Structure 1
């Protein structure tokens, strides 16, 4: 699957869409468009297609990835299945060659420190997977916890970046670069503004909704409709 066909996968399965009435996002913000990867992650067939694409992308781009780790809990399932596929593809696949890592949403109050935060602790060069990035709050909390645990985080892979400006005036990508001093690379597989343009042009919603969506994105109605 190419980047273009990945966008078509998102549109075809209504992973991105819009509403007349605003929705409250996990970040607490309100928006007239949504990006919801739950349908794909809950359907075995779609999840198989999605994880193939992620694994192909990691291999094609030669991303440093000894461990793929999903942000708890939304991206955990997708990361585990993708990590298993990557391990199976490896020439050196054998006992103890790869770790299937998972994080706990809440740390255990007792036990081995490695088991308190993880069900299988990451090892080696670690790539963190997030499904949708808005302000990045969950992502950055996850990164801080990984770094405090001594995990060697090399990059972040997001399925969709909403490309929104946070309250501090930065996008999540800009905050990632600034806060972690450029040491953690960022790989968004899709961006909401580009996806919304395609969705609007395919589905042709009414003018009032297009105007609201254009205002959210900070672009003109003509640009959103592909008329500029």
Structure 2
């Protein structure tokens, strides 16, 4: 399954540049949760002040509008997705699309309003907003929750598609975490930028020190990517 609309290369390039300037995207040697030694690291938790969050919301809102996807509301999976959905909703309102948003608790609340869903009631065509898809677990939980509430998940909106396969080195999955999720749920994943966009940015980097990381990222993709 492909995205509802092809990614905007200009928007993707702007986002890679912004992520580097914000210190969210870094190059070097980083041990991943899967135990792999990655030549880059994307840590969305470092979008950690008002100016960065406002700019990040602009990218999410612009990408979602550009997709042409029909949607009625946003959902942010706890915990990172909560802030991302809120920032996206603010930007969409600025762009003239004022839509409700909701998020979930990790544990059900047994007093007050109770339940696990906070914010607007889940209704209609719902976009799940998060940073990346690693193993897809939180997104699967979100899909199940949204459907239980009677709404329809229509897409997952993420910042970066790592285009990386799961599994061990001798038993890698056929597709990436994103393509496996799309295949399983028949729900498109819309990314602001992808690993391909990152490589394209490094190809044209004016900073020689930055450009030197291109070969390591390309080798990593050849081994683990799609």
> How does the TM-score come out when normalised to structure 2?
0.76
| Contact 1:131–1:160, Cα closer than 8 Å, also in 2 | yes
- Measured in 2, the distance between the counterparts of 1:122 and 1:55 equals 20
Q: Could you list the per-position Cα deviations for residues 133-181 of structure 1 after superposition, in whole angstroms to 9, with x for gaps in the alignment?
A: 223232223223322333211111110011111223321222122211x
**Which residue pairs with 1:4 in the alignment?**
13
- Measured in 2, the distance between the counterparts of 1:106 and 1:64 equals 31
Q: For structure 2, list consecutive stretches of 5 or more residues without a partner in the other structure.
A: 1-9, 168-172
**Which residue pairs with 2:221 in the alignment?**
217
Q: Shift in Å at residue 88 of structure 1?
A: 5.3
Q: Shift in Å at residue 111 of structure 1?
A: 7.1
- Measured in 2, the distance between the counterparts of 1:110 and 1:169 equals 45
CA 1:206–1:185 in structure 2 vs 1: closer, same or farther (change >3 Å)?
A: closer
- Measured in 1, the distance between the counterparts of 2:177 and 2:76 equals 17
Q: Could you list the per-position Cα deviations for residues 171-201 of structure 1 after superposition, in whole angstroms to 9, with x for gaps in the alignment?
A: 1222122211x2x122111113431553485
**Which residue pairs with 1:23 in the alignment?**
31
Q: Shift in Å at residue 83 of structure 1?
A: 1.2
Q: For structure 1, list consecutive stretches of 5 or more residues without a partner in the other structure.
A: 220-228
User: What is the alpha-carbon root mean square deviation over aligned residues?
Assistant: 2.9
**Which residue pairs with 2:178 in the alignment?**
173
- Measured in 2, the distance between the counterparts of 1:146 and 1:110 equals 22
**Which residue pairs with 1:66 in the alignment?**
72
The aligned length equals 206
Which of the pair is proportionally richer in strand?
2
- Tell which has more relative contact order, 1 or 2 (C-alpha 8 A, sep 6+): 2
